[in-house]
Amino acid sequence: MEWPIFQMPYIGNRLLVAIIGVIHICISHGMAVGGSFFVVLLHYKSIRENDMRLNELAHKVLKIFFIITTSFGALTGVGIWLVTATVSPATIGSLLHVFFWVWFTEWVVFVTEVILILLYYLAWSKLGPQKGLRVGVVYVVASWLTMMLITGILGAMLTPGKWLASRSLLDGFFNPTYLPQLFTRTFLAALLSYGFGLLIVRFHTAYRDQWETVWQFAGKGFLILSPIFLFAVLNYYYALPQQIEHLIATALMTMKYATYAQLSKIIFLAIVLLLMLVGFILLKKRKDYVILSIVPIVLLVLATSNFERVREFIRKPYTIYQYLYANSIKEDEAPFLNQSGILPYSGWAARSSVEVDPELRNGEMLFKMECGICHTYTGINGITKKTSILQDKDIIDNFLKTYKRSHPFMPPFVGTEEERKALAAYLDKIVNGSQNTKVDK
C-alpha cells in the first residue's frame, strides 16, 4: 500500500487515463496498425492497375500516417505510461513484474516498426514499386506484432485465467480472452484505417480525380470487414466470464440491454447502419465527399471509445481481475488489513493531509487511499454529488458497510470498524458540511 497518491482535480484520474488512452488507441489502431494495412493495399492496387496518380496519393496518405503516429502516437503512448504509473503504480508494477520481457519485446518491435515506416516513406520512389511494396508488407507485420504483444497484457488484466494460480507468464499472456480480443482489435484497426484514410484523402484536393476510386476501395473494405468485426465482437463477448457479463449493462449506462440477445441486437443494428452508410458511399450518384469523409470516422471513433469504456468498466472493481483492486489493494491482502487496519500503511496519504482533527485526518487519508482513484471531491464523479442523499455520518457508515450489494463495481472498504467510521465522519463533513469532529466508537 505504500504508493504515492495522485488525484487529478475536477476531471479525476479515470477520465484523465481515458482521454489519453482513447486518443492513443485511435492513432495506434487506426493509423499505425490499420494505417499500414490501408496504405499497402492502396499501394498494391496502384501497382496492379498501373495507376501512378493513385500511387502518389497512397504516398501522401502514408506521409500523414507517418507524421501523426511518430509524433502524437508516440507522445500519447508515453503519456499512457506516465499517467497510469502515476495514478496506479501498483498496477504497472505488478504487470511489469510478470510481463517485463513481453514489454521489452514490444519496445524492440516498435523501434523496428519506426525504422520500417521511415524506410517505406523516405525511400518510396527509390525502392521502386515491388521492393517498396515488400517493405510495406513487413511494416504491416511489425505494426500488427506490437498489437499482438500488448493485447496479451490487456487481456490478462481482464481475464488472468490460470495465471492467478500458476503466476506463469505464458498463462497470463495466453489468457481466455487473448485471441478474441486480438481478433476484435485487428479488424477494428482495419475499419478505423479506412475511416481515417477517407478523411485524409478528402483534404488532398489535387487528387480529386482519385476520390471516387478511393471511396469505392474503402466502401468495399467496409462491406467485407464489418461482418467479420461483428463476429469478432460477439466472440469476444462470449469469451468473457459469466460473473462480469452483468456489468456490461452498467457500462452501457442502461439495464434494458443486459441480456446477450438484446446486446447482440444493438451491435447488429449498429453494423447494419454502417453497411447502409457504405451502400450510400458505393451507390449514390451525386456524392457528397464532405459528409462521406467525416461520418464514417466519427462513428468509428465513438465506437472505439465505447468499446474501451466497456472493456475497462467490466474489469471493476479491479485493475487486474481478482488480484488487484482499483485502489491498489490486493484482494488477498484485504483480510489482513481488515484486522490490522490500513492506516499504518498510509505514509503517502498522510503527507498531503490538511485535516487537523485526528479522526477527520484519518478519514481524509482513507478517502485518498480507497476512494480517490475513482472519485473527485466536487468534479466529475464527485463524491459530494454521489453521496448527497446520505444525510449524516451514521447513514454514511451504514452505506459503507453495505454498498457492495448495490455497487458491485466498487472495491470493498478495507480497514477496521474504527477506520470505517473515521471515513464516514470525513465524508459527512465534505458532503453535508458537518463540523462534527468526533466519531462514535
Residue whose C-alpha cell is 465527399: 289
Ordered alpha helix ranges (H), 28-123: 34-48, 52-68, 74-87, 89-122
Ordered mean pLDDT values, 10 residues apiece, the chain (441 residues): 82 92 94 95 95 95 95 92 92 94 96 95 92 95 96 95 95 96 95 92 90 86 85 88 72 52 55 59 56 80 86 90 94 94 87 89 93 90 86 90 89 95 94 56 31
Q: Could you say which architecture CATH assigns to the domain 12-325?
A: Up-down Bundle (1.20)
d(CA 69, CA 235): 30
Residues 6+ apart with CB under 8 A from 361: 350, 353, 355
- Domain(s) labelled CATH 1.10.760 in the chain stretch across 331-432
Question: Using CA atoms in the order 234, 249, 319, 341, what is the torsion angle rounded to 10 degrees?
Answer: -150
Distant-in-sequence, close-in-space partners of 257: CB < 8 Å, separation ≥ 6: 249, 263, 266
User: Does 317 sit behind a cis peptide bond, omega within 30 degrees of 0 on the bond before it?
Assistant: yes
- Is 331-432 in CATH node 3.20.20? no
Grid cell in block for residue 162 = 490460470
Residue 7: the pLDDT is 87
Question: How many of the other CB atoms lie within 10 Å of CB of 177?
Answer: 24
Q: What is the pLDDT of residue 321?
A: 94
Class of residue 193 by CB neighbours under 10 A (exposed 0-12, middle 13-18, buried 19+): buried
Residue at grid coordinates 480517490: 372
**So what's the pLDDT on residue 270?**
64
Cell numbers placing 93: 508494477
- Residue of 54, 400, 403 lying closest to 201 (CA atoms): 54
Query: Given this model, what pLDDT does residue 241 score?
Result: 83
Backbone angles phi, psi at 247, to 5 degrees: -75, -15
DSSP state of 325: E
Residue 362 · residue 343 · CB < 8 Å: yes
Instruction: Give the DSSP letter of residue 261.
Output: H
Number of C-beta neighbours around residue 248 at 10 A: 19
> What is residue 354's three-state secondary structure?
coil
Question: Where does the chain hold its CATH 1.20.1630 domain(s)?
Answer: 12-325
Give the three-class secondary structure for 433. coil
Q: What is the CA radius of gyration of the chain?
A: 25
pLDDT at 103: 95
At 266 the pLDDT is 57
Answer for the pair 144, 33: CB distance below 8 angstroms, yes or no. yes
Kindly give, in sequence order, each residue whose CB lies less than 8 Å from that of residue 81, ignoring residues fewer than 6 positions away.
92
CA 337 to each of CA 200, 299, 318, 348, 419: distance values in angstroms, whole numbers, following the listed order: 55, 46, 17, 17, 11
212 strand-pairing partners: none
Distances in Å between the Cα of 53 and the Cα atoms of 207, 211, 330, 346, 437 are 8, 11, 58, 64, 76
Q: Which residue has the cell 503504480?
A: 89
d(CA 186, CA 233): 11
